[in-house]
């Protein structure tokens, strides 16, 4: 099966051998041959997008319309994290850690939303509603705290593949050699 698009991923901090492939349909190969290189294919799920101005989710600093805050204590005054002497405070979960911590229950919820949207080929809004409904209904995690209590290797998303249909479904997959 041939990918419909191929894109080399370049990271700013270190070199990457990752390539993003887009396939149409619901059948994805385990490996892909690109020239003489045999690549293993796995599903790609991006990290939650967090603004580094207001520290909300779903937008970046360049498109932020909110007031800038300190990422350490969440204060509105104009000090920077480097010059902040206050204790860490996360406004998302009201806990004593920085707002951008990957251990935050809200970060993990956003991560699960991306995972569900990717696995089920649904929009982020639909995935958010589904996870929040599962929390409320008790069919999945029963609370925001229990969402955070699970280990980072567990997933609340079902391990199913969408049924094959006549319409095309785009998915993004990453490849690495080995």
Domain ranges for the chain, please list them: 5-46+166-177, 61-149
Q: At what angle do helices 124-137 and 105-120 cross, to 10 degrees?
A: 120
Rounded to an integer, the average pLDDT of 27-56 is 87
Environment class of 133 (CB within 10 Å of its CB; exposed 0-12, middle 13-18, buried 19+): exposed
- Residue 157 confidence (pLDDT) above 60: no
Q: Which residues contact 71 (CB under 8 A, 6 or more apart)?
A: 52, 55, 81, 98, 99, 100
20: left (phi over 0), alpha (psi -120 to 50) or beta: beta
DSSP 61: G
Question: Mean pLDDT over residues 10-28, rounded?
Answer: 72
Whether the model pTM is above 0.85: no
What digits encode the pLDDT tens for the residues 114-126?
999 988 889 999 9
Identify the band that residue 25 occupies on the pLDDT scale cut at 50, 70 and 90. confident
- Distance, in Å, from the CA atom of 16 to the CA atom of 9, rounded to the nearest integer, reads 7
Question: Best-predicted range by mean pLDDT among 85-89, 135-139, 166-170?
Answer: 85-89
62-116: pLDDT as tens digits = 999 999 999 888 888 777 788 888 999 999 999 999 998 999 999 999 999 999 9
The pLDDT, as a whole number, for residue 7 is: 65
Query: Is the pLDDT higher at 23 or at 167?
Result: 23
């Amino acid at each position: 099966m041939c990918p419909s698009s191929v894109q080399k991923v370049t990271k700013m901090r270190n070199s990457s051998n990752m390539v993003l492939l887009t396939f149409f349909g619901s059948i994805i190969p385990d490996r892909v041959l690109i020239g003489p290189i045999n690549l293993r294919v796995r599903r790609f799920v991006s990290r939650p997008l967090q603004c580094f101005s207001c520290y909300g989710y779903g937008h970046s600093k360049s498109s932020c319309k909110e007031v800038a805050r300190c990422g350490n204590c969440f204060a509105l005054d104009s000090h920077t994290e480097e010059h902040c002497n206050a204790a860490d405070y996360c406004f998302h979960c009201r806990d004593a850690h920085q707002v951008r911590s990957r251990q935050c229950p809200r970060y993990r919820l956003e991560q699960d939303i991306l995972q569900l949207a990717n696995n089920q080929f649904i929009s982020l809004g639909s995935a958010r509603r589904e996870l929040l409904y599962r929390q409320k209904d008790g069919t999945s995690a029963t609370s925001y705290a229990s969402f955070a209590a699970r280990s980072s290797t567990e997933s609340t998303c079902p391990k199913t593949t969408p049924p094959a249909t006549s319409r095309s479904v785009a998915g993004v997959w990453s490849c690495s050699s080995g």
